[in-house]
């Protein structure tokens, strides 16, 4: 996280002709866990006339069985706002937090016998319009996906609250999702309606369904769960720094989400517990 938010990474801007150095850094981290890591290059348009190139980092842990279930796709955008003048936007909570948790999940699960592929996607150009996630979904070309888990802004701050918005079709998994947080001090809230979530968060202006990379999956009828800690006073400011992150809590979040992913990729699904 210190590296992702460092001045050398210049606020992780998107739109370069070649992958940003943060994408290479994430690639090296994921390669440590024997994943098949590839860049997915794509073109995207912004404004009225401009187009640019983006690069997702796509890392797969393969199911090694004869029969495998449809894959689970875990997303976290690594791009941020870049810099303005001499100041850069570190984007620690938005979304180095999601990227480091995604890498930690890969670390914790990489030696396990999984019953479906786990595809980790560090998406690019989220801030410019969810372009990386759109490109990834497009490339799936209708391939069946079990679910998308999207991680965006996971620093719990003082409120100690973590929120999730999930597709209504995942309501049968409600207890699977919530029980993983029971043994933690985190106040976890799960919603199946973006409107109710906005009301409870006192943020009627935010459309949580369209706010991050889970939306293109939703549009493609792929069930999703979006995890995030809600509003952040430092959002999209130069104050979204490494020092503001509570790492003890981020570790709790990571362990709980890992537990949930494990429950969905192993045969002893906790649905029966
Ligand atoms: Zn974000």
pLDDT band at 188 (very low <50, low <70, confident <90, very high): very high
Distance from residue 12's CA to the centre of ligand 1 (Å): 12
2-43 tens-digit pLDDT: 899 999 999 999 999 999 999 999 999 999 999 999 999 999
pLDDT band at 185 (very low <50, low <70, confident <90, very high): very high
Residue with structure tokens 């679910």?
147
Distance from residue 45's CA to the centre of ligand 1 (Å): 19
Distance from residue 156's CA to the centre of ligand 1 (Å): 14
Distance from residue 235's CA to the centre of ligand 1 (Å): 9
H or E element in which residue 51 lies: strand 50-61
Please give the pLDDT value at position 268. 65
Domain ranges of the chain: 7-265
227-237 tens-digit pLDDT: 999 999 999 99
Q: Is residue 270 predicted with pLDDT exceeding 70?
A: no
pLDDT band at 273 (very low <50, low <70, confident <90, very high): very low
Please give the pLDDT value at position 100. 98
Q: Is residue 130 predicted with pLDDT exceeding 60?
A: yes
Please give the pLDDT value at position 157. 84
Percent of the chain with pLDDT over 90: 89
Distance from residue 172's CA to the centre of ligand 1 (Å): 28
| Beta pairing partners, 87 | 84
Please give the pLDDT value at position 97. 97
Distance from residue 37's CA to the centre of ligand 1 (Å): 22
| Average pLDDT rounded to a whole number, residues 81-109 | 95
113-123 tens-digit pLDDT: 999 999 999 99
Percent of the chain with pLDDT over 70: 98
Homologous superfamily of 7-265: Zn peptidases (3.40.630.10)
- Give CA–CA dist 16/53, Å, rounded: 6
Q: Is residue 49 predicted with pLDDT exceeding 80?
A: no
Distance from residue 114's CA to the centre of ligand 1 (Å): 29
> Are the beta carbons of 76 and 102 closer than 8 angstroms?
yes
133-144 tens-digit pLDDT: 999 999 999 999
Mean pLDDT of the chain: 94
Candidates 170, 153, 180; CA nearest to 262 is: 180
- Give CA–CA dist 92/112, Å, rounded: 30
pLDDT band at 271 (very low <50, low <70, confident <90, very high): very low
| Average pLDDT rounded to a whole number, residues 234-252 | 94
Distance from residue 117's CA to the centre of ligand 1 (Å): 25
């Amino acid at each position: 996280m210190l590296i992702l938010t460092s001045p050398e990474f210049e606020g992780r801007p998107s739109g370069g002709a070649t992958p940003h150095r943060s994408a290479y850094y994430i690639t090296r981290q994921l390669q440590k866990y024997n994943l098949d890591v590839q860049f997915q290059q794509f073109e995207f348009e912004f404004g009225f006339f401009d187009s640019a190139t983006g690069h997702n980092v796509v890392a797969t842990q393969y199911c090694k069985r004869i029969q495998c279930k449809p894959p689970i796709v875990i997303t976290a955008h690594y791009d941020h706002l870049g810099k303005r003048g001499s100041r850069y936007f570190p984007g620690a909570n938005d979304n180095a937090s999601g990227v480091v948790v995604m890498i930690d999940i890969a670390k914790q699960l990489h030696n396990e016998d999984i019953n479906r592929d786990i595809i980790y996607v560090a998406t690019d150009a989220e801030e410019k319009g969810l372009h990386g996630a759109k490109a990834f979904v497009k490339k799936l070309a209708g391939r069946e996906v079990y679910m998308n888990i999207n991680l965006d802004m996971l620093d719990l701050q003082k409120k100690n609250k973590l929120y999730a918005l999930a597709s209504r079709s995942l309501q049968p998994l409600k207890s699977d999702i919530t029980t993983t947080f029971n043994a933690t001090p985190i106040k976890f809230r799960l919603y199946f309606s973006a409107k109710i979530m906005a009301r409870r968060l006192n943020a009627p202006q935010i459309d949580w369904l369209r706010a991050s990379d889970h939306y293109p999956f939703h549009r493609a009828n792929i069930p999703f769960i979006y995890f995030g800690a809600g509003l952040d006073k430092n959002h999209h400011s130069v104050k979204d720094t490494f020092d503001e992150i509570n790492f003890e809590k981020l570790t709790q979040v990571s362990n709980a989400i890992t537990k949930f992913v494990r429950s969905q990729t192993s045969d002893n699904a906790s649905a029966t517990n």
